């Protein structure tokens, strides 16, 4: 295995920023999962993200920024956008916004759409890297296409190896599931992907109900809309209360198993453990079968259920 994991130091952050500036790839921690980053304006570098992940180019990437004011440079923004940004950024919430120009350099990151996806991560290493690089960083999860998302630097190394120029180690990700994605291009706010910011919290802030759309898996307008995604190698069965004898069972709350996402029924704890436990179950399932207990469909449970439903899709 290639050892390209670097601990956080000011020198290593500077080295990572130089790699981004020179068209390379850097994997870095966010509060959600580890991202595989490149300069959003460097089409060749962005193409290398798709190549490393073996990701189809019709699946758009999220751009990561470190300052809210940068939105005005390439996105159509209004008071609603700024209000949401002020309330939830930095944090696990992504906006889909209309592009304000025809800048061809970001076409690939946007998969040719007239919209872009953008967020401000909460992790201090991510924010420092973006600021040092001086450009937005396009960064999907740092794993092979449709496989389980990485929540540690070691996960990135195991999945992508020498396809990444540098992996910045920031420890395990605190949230553990990807960001919530909102479409803000119309009059109504539309949830495109459940994630690390609860739908209920956004609705309470806006004072209105959010519409829900699963999008078009054949032509996604945001990441995470494909029918099969975040998937282990082995067969996954969900909403299981009584596992079969040959299944490696992941429990939740009072339903125990070989692993338990959260014995106390804490959805935040369950979300932070989800991908790591799926990886562990994938490596230990004796007969190629994994099962997982039911997860409440509220708060972060909405995001957890979205991930396991896509992971179990055949």
Query: pTM higher than 0.75 for the full model?
Result: yes
Contacts of 283 (CB under 8 A, 6+ apart): none
Contacts of 229 (CB under 8 A, 6+ apart): 146, 307, 310, 311, 313
Residue 292, pLDDT score: 98
Give me the chain's average pLDDT, please: 93
Q: Which regions of 102-197 does DSSP assign to beta strands (E)?
A: 115-119, 137-138, 166-169, 180-183, 190-193
In the CATH scheme, what is the code of domain 235-311? 3.40.50.11030
pLDDT in tens, 187-236: 999 999 999 999 999 999 999 999 998 667 767 777 877 778 888 999 99
Residue 11, pLDDT score: 97
Domain boundaries, the chain: 5-78+96-176, 235-311
pLDDT in tens, 125-138: 999 999 999 999 99
2: pLDDT strictly greater than 70? no
Domain at 5-78+96-176, CATH class: alpha beta
């Amino acid at each position: 295995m290639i050892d390209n994991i670097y601990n956080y130091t000011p020198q290593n952050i500077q080295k990572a920023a130089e790699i981004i500036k020179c068209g390379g790839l850097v994997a870095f921690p966010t509060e959600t999962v580890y991202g595989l980053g490149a300069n959003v304006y460097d089409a060749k570098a962005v193409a290398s993200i798709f190549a490393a992940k073996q990701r189809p180019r019709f699946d758009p990437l999220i751009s990561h920024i470190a300052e809210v004011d940068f939105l005005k440079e390439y996105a159509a923004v209004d008071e609603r956008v700024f209000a949401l940004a002020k309330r939830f950024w930095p944090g696990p919430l992504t906006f889909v916004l209309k592009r304000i120009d025809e800048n061809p350099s970001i076409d690939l990151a946007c998969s040719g759409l007239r919209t872009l996806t953008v967020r401000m991560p909460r992790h201090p290493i991510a924010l420092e890297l973006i600021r040092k690089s001086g450009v937005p960083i396009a960064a999907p999860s740092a794993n092979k296409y449709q496989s389980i998302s990485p929540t540690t630097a070691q996960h990135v190394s195991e999945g992508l190896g020498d396809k990444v120029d540098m992996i910045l180690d920031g420890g395990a990700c605190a949230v553990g599931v990807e960001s919530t994605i909102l479409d803000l291009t119309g009059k109504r706010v539309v949830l495109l992907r459940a994630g690390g910011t609860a739908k209920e919290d956004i609705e309470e802030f806006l004072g209105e109900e959010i519409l829900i759309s699963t999008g078009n898996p054949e032509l996604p307008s945001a990441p995470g809309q494909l029918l099969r995604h975040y998937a282990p190698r082995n067969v996954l069965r969900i909403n299981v209360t009584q596992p079969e004898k040959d299944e490696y069972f992941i429990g939740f709350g009072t339903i125990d198993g070989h692993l338990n996402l959260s014995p106390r029924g804490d959805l935040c704890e369950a979300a932070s453990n989800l991908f790591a436990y799926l990886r562990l179950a994938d490596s230990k399932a004796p007969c190629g079968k994994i099962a997982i207990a039911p997860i409440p469909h509220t708060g972060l449970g909405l995001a957890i259920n979205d991930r396991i439903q896509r992971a179990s899709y055949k």
